[in-house]
A and B are shown apart, each in its own frame.
Chain A
Amino acid sequence: MTQDPILEVRNISRSFGKFQALTDVSLSIQTGRLCALIGPNGAGKTTFYNVVSGRYRPTTGKVFFKGREVGGLPSHRLVSMGLLRSFQITNIFPALTVLENVLVPLLVHHGMSFSCLKSIRKQGELAEEADRILGRVGLRGVSDHVVSTLAYGDKRLIEIAIVLARRPTLVLLDEPTAGMNPEETDRMIHLIKDLSEHSDTTFFITEHDMKVVFSVAERIFVLNQGCLLAEGTPEEIRNNPDVKHAYLGGSLDAPGQ
């Protein structure tokens, strides 16, 4: 990997009033390498995502995406540049059908946001593309179901499908397996690994389930109390005493050692 980093974060801090949620965090992600961000509850993982994805402005510091400074850009602009994200709490369109959920990002992607005089029923190509994406995440069979009637794991997959529909270059997944049963978790891990290997999309996930992190990530960043505590390969992180300390020695030993 000699490419420029797809995402580079330099010295960002973010505070809410007196509370310092992130302090001087710097890291960079190489194109195509599946990275993970971990840390105890309240370490600032979601705040970090919110800053990178344009939801919050960094108090100080800079964010570069594809070499361009993007700190403070509204999220819809970042999305247009290819940076997509999922949320910890499933963020989809509950009263629309599965197909419609994927069509919304597709029509935005194809510049049809304001096309108000064409019939959506006649957009066969959009429907085919949606079908392909639904096939990719294994939801083809339920495409005309209203999303709110589906199982929890399927809803999380729909969010992945929504994200994929924008043909992203970088995807931030915020705890993609949170709340899933083991079977659903396996399915999700498989999907993420598969997508990361067989597409041009780079994935960056946060996760509290260490089993997931160590089974998928090529590189891991550890956040603790708003600061970057460590970074390295899964092996390095596993043996890092600081990290062990931060986790009180608990869950890090869990993943099949």
Chain B
Amino acid sequence: MKILPRFPLIPGLVLFGALISAPFILSIYWVMILTEILTMGLFAMSFNLLFGYTGLLSFGQAGFFGAGAYCAVLTLLHGPASLWAALAAGFLGAALLALPIGWLCVRRDEIYFAILTLGFGMMLFTVAHNWRSVTGGSDGLGNFTLPKLDLFGWSISLFNPRHFYFLVLLIAAAGALLLLRVVRSPFGLLLRGTRENSNRVSFVGANVRSVRLFAFVVSGALAGLAGALFALFNRIASPEMLHWAFSGKAVLMTILGGSGVFLGPAVGAAIFFVLEHSITAYTTNWMIFLGMILIVLVLVFPKGVLGSAVDFIDRFRKGGGR
């Protein structure tokens, strides 16, 4: 008797191999887009730990993404000029913030949770926007030197976008593996139970608030890690990264790719960027299209692109087996 189906290892390895070889084939322009896709993919996957696995719709995820960005940049400006220190600061800083905010937000669920996360995310936005002496106000924080990457005794300059891409690939893959570990752990099963029926979970003796809070902190920390990467890549941490419109991006990417599949949000991020680039070539009003796409997805394809594809393949397999 096996508890979960095995993770599709071969497609995963093929994808990873393709991502490793991509910079040797693609132009710098597309390598940079792929870098953004990976960063935002990690961000969206962190969101989906709450949405897809725990059943909590957060509209404040950008607060932790942005907090991670600021923590990383502040570390480089005032602390050690180490890349690892900056990334660790993004991860831990966001986790520390997620703890009290999550403690407040998990007191309610469903729609209330969405409003509360939206509200507290915007509180972080106003802090970044108004605390000029620390955050640089609406201009954001730039002007830091991007440190070299020290890895196993090598020292690699990250000014080459291809080098930076490999860093992001490494971190995003590590983040995704951590998430995979979490969702396939006993805790991950408890999360899915909470999503299905939180009342039953508390009547088997688990403290639903603590369970949700723990997921909230893990999700916030990974969002912070993604934010740190984003700030290092764009050489700036700015208040827009904490705005709820930015949280909306994670939501959109997840719905686009599918919240019920592990890699759905990352696939959603890829589709999002490709769409953005092809639509903005013709019009600046791409949010109209985004709105329409979201409406159609919610009404017709709530499982998203990858989710629907997986369903289709499953049905095909079963059909073939007969």
Contacts of B280 in A (CB 8 A): none
Q: Are B204 and A79 in contact (CB under 8 A)?
A: yes
Q: What does the 1/0 interface line of A132-163 toward B look like (CB < 8 Å)?
A: 00000000000110000000000000000010
Most buried by A among B192, B200, B202, B208: B200
Which residues of the partner chain B approach A79 to less than 8 Å between Cβ atoms? 202-205
In the complex, whether A3 has a CB less than 8 A from a CB of chain B is no
Q: Does B211 contact A (CB under 8 A)?
A: yes
Q: Residue B112 at the A interface, CB < 8 A?
A: no
Whole-angstrom distance between the alpha carbons of A120 and B183 in the complex?
9
A240 contacts partner chain B, Cβ-Cβ < 8 Å: no
Given contacts A114-B187, A116-B181, contact A166 B4 (CB under 8 A): no
User: For A108, what are the chain B residues with a Cβ–Cβ distance below 8 Å?
Assistant: 190, 201, 204-206
Q: Distance (Å) between the CB of A156 and the closest chain B CB?
A: 14
User: Inside 8 A of A100's CB, which chain B residues have their CB?
Assistant: 3, 189, 192-193
In the complex, are the beta carbons of B190 and A119 less than 8 A apart? Answer: no
Q: Which chain B residues lie closer than 8 Å to A18 at the CB level?
A: none
Select from chain A the residue with minimum beta-carbon distance to B260: A95
Question: Could you tell me the distance between the alpha carbons of A183 and B29 in the complex, rounded to whole angstroms?
Answer: 68
Min CB gap B253→A, angstroms: 23
A119's nearest neighbour on chain B, judged by CB, is B184
For the complex, give the distance between the alpha carbons of A105 and B201 in Å: 8
A76 and B200: CB pair below 8 A?
Answer: no
Is B188 in contact with chain A by the CB < 8 A criterion?
A: yes
B185 contacts chain A at the CB level, 8 A cutoff: yes
Q: Which residues of B contact A165 (CB under 8 A)?
A: 204
- Structural contact, B204 and A85, CB atoms closer than 8 A: no
Complex CA gap A62/B220 in Å reads 42
Contacts of A94 in B (CB 8 A): 196-197
Asked if B104 lies at the interface with its beta carbon under 8 angstroms from chain A, I say: no
Residue of B nearest to A162 (CB): B204
Q: Chain A residues near B206 (CB, 8 Å)?
A: 76, 108, 113
Which chain A residues (64-98) contact chain B, with CB distance < 8 Å?
74-76, 79-80, 84-85, 91-96
Asked whether B203 lies within 8 Å of A85 as measured between CB atoms, the reply is yes
Query: Is B182 on the interface with A (CB-CB < 8 A)?
Result: yes
Give the most central of A79, A95, A108, A118: most B CB within 10 Å: A108
**How far does the alpha carbon of A113 sit from the alpha carbon of B215 in the complex, in Å?**
12
Residues of chain A at interface, number, CB under 8 A: 41
Contacts of A119 in B (CB 8 A): 181, 184-185
Encoded as 1 (CB less than 8 Å from any A CB) or 0, chain B from 225 to 243 comes to 0000000000000000000
Q: Are A104 and B201 in contact (CB under 8 A)?
A: yes
Q: Evaluate contact between B196 and A99: CB separation under 8 angstroms.
A: no
Interchain nearest-CB distance for B302 vs A (Å): 14
A85 and B200 alpha carbons, distance in the complex (Å): 10
Task: Given A100-B189, A105-B205, A108-B190, check contact A120 B197 (CB 8 Å).
Answer: no
Question: Contact at B204–A115, with CB atoms within 8 Å?
Answer: no
B322, CB-defined interface residue at 8 Å: no
In the complex, whether B8 has a CB less than 8 A from a CB of chain A is: no
> B185, B187, B204 — which one has the most chain A CB atoms within 10 A of its CB?
B204
Q: Is the interface of B mostly helix, strand, loop or mixed?
A: helix
Complex contacts, A162 vs chain B, CB 8 Å = 200, 204
Asked if B1 is at the interface of the complex by the 8 Å CB criterion, the answer is yes
Bound complex: CA A123 to CA B3 (Å): 8
Beta-carbon nearest neighbor of B180 in chain A: A119
Q: Do residues B200 and A92 form an inter-chain contact, with CB atoms below 8 A?
A: yes
Interface contact B204-A121, CB-CB below 8 Å: no
Give Cα distance in the complex from A117 to B201, angstroms: 20
Most chain B CB inside 10 Å of its own CB: which residue of A116, A123, A127: A116
Does A189 sit within 8 A of B, measured CB to CB? no
The answer to whether B196 and A120 touch across the interface, beta carbons within 8 angstroms, is no
Q: What's the Cα separation between A1 and B185 when bound, in Å?
A: 44
Asked if A166 contacts B186 (CB within 8 A), the reply is no
Known A-B contacts A113-B211, A116-B181; A104 and B202 likewise in contact (beta carbons under 8 Å): no
The answer, yes or no, to whether A53 is at the interface (CB within 8 Å) is: yes
Is A180's CB within 8 Å of the partner chain B? no
Given A93, A105, A143, which contacts B197 in the complex, CB threshold below 8 Å?
A93
CB closest residue in chain B, given A122: B3
Q: Are B203 and A75 in contact (CB under 8 A)?
A: yes
Question: How distant is A119 from chain B, measured CB to nearest CB, in Å?
Answer: 6
Known: A116-B182, A116-B218. A76 touches B202 (CB 8 A): yes
Chain B CB within 8 A of A107 CB:
yes
Identify the A interface with B (CB < 8 A). Answer: 53, 74-76, 79-80, 84-85, 91-96, 99-100, 103-105, 107-109, 112-121, 123, 126-127, 131, 143-144, 162, 165-166
Given A93-B196, A123-B186, 7 extra CB contacts under 8 A: A80-B205, A84-B203, A91-B203, A94-B197, A108-B204, A108-B206, A126-B186
Instruction: Offer 27 A-B interface pairs, CB within 8 angstroms, sorted by A.
Output: A53-B203, A76-B208, A79-B205, A85-B203, A91-B199, A92-B197, A94-B197, A95-B192, A95-B196, A96-B189, A99-B1, A100-B3, A100-B189, A100-B193, A103-B186, A103-B189, A104-B190, A107-B190, A112-B186, A113-B206, A114-B210, A114-B211, A116-B181, A120-B188, A127-B1, A131-B1, A162-B204
Q: Which residues of B does A touch, CB under 8 Å? A: 1-4, 6, 181-182, 184-190, 192-193, 196-197, 199-208, 210-211, 214, 218
